[in-house]
Chains A and B, each alone.
Chain A
Amino acid sequence: MSEEHKTGDSKKGPFHIVVDHKPHKWDEPFITGLQIKKLAGVDSAAYDAWQDVPGPEDVLLADDTKVDLRKPETERFFTGKKTTTEG
């Protein structure tokens, strides 16, 4: 049986999240953009973090943005380096 429980639309921990295609278990109900980057093992200054939510736009997460993992469809994240060099 899953350790992740649902009560109505609100889930209880531990929370099973996916960061850059890899599964992680997170005990707290909130996770920040910076914590996502740390789980991904990327340079937090050079990389961005997004939440992959239903719909056309991913949600860009600032380092101090908190995602409430108790809400539905909050469990998928990815990181990336979006900068490029001209020329």
Chain B
Amino acid sequence: MSFLLEPDREYLTSKGITFEELEWDGKKAVVLKERPLPANRFDAKAADVLILLPSGYPDVGPDMFYLLPWVKLLQPNRFPNAADQPLDFGGQRWQRWSRHNTEWRSGIDGMRTMIKRVEHALENAA
């Protein structure tokens, strides 16, 4: 099963990002496997990143992202802001990072810009 379009697949492959396309309970998603987390910020060095794809993707952008394992900040020892709620998907309980940006450019934005949002949110977690 593959529902990502070629530009997304080409980008992920060219960056050496291992990914899995999933469909669960009628919802499509991409899991970016073992993504490195910012050094010395969290109680894990890497995590899988779940991105739910809305039905209109890539004309419509994803909202939020989810991590597994759940991660906490090292200092202070707690979950980051707005990242302490679960999402059950694919038989697993993911850590929801409630991060929003409704600006999305159809035909331009895709996995590469969504990944930049994820990375920026992780780098600036407080």
Interface residues of A (CB under 8 A from B): 20-21, 48, 50, 52, 54-58, 78-87
Contacts and interface: CB of A to CB of B under 8 A. Distances in A.
Nearest to A57: B15
Nearest to B109: A80
Q: How many of chain B's residues touch chain A, expressed as a range?
A: 20 to 34
Interface string B76-95: 00000110000000000000
Nearest to A46: B103
A85 B14 contact: no
A50 B11 CA distance: 13
A81 B81 CA distance: 21
Given A52-B11, A58-B15, 6 more contacts: A21-B108, A80-B112, A81-B103, A83-B117, A86-B82, A86-B98
B100 A84 contact: yes
A82 B7 CA distance: 19
A84 B101 contact: yes
A55 B109 CA distance: 20
A82 B123 CA distance: 11
B120 interface: yes
Contacts of B16: 55-56
Contact of A86 (B17, B81, B103, B105): B81
A86 to B, nearest CB: 4
A83 B101 contact: yes
B108 A81 contact: no
B55 interface: no
A48 B116 contact: yes
Nearest to B105: A20
Given A21-B108, A82-B116, A87 B15 contact: no
A80 B113 contact: yes
B120 A87 contact: no
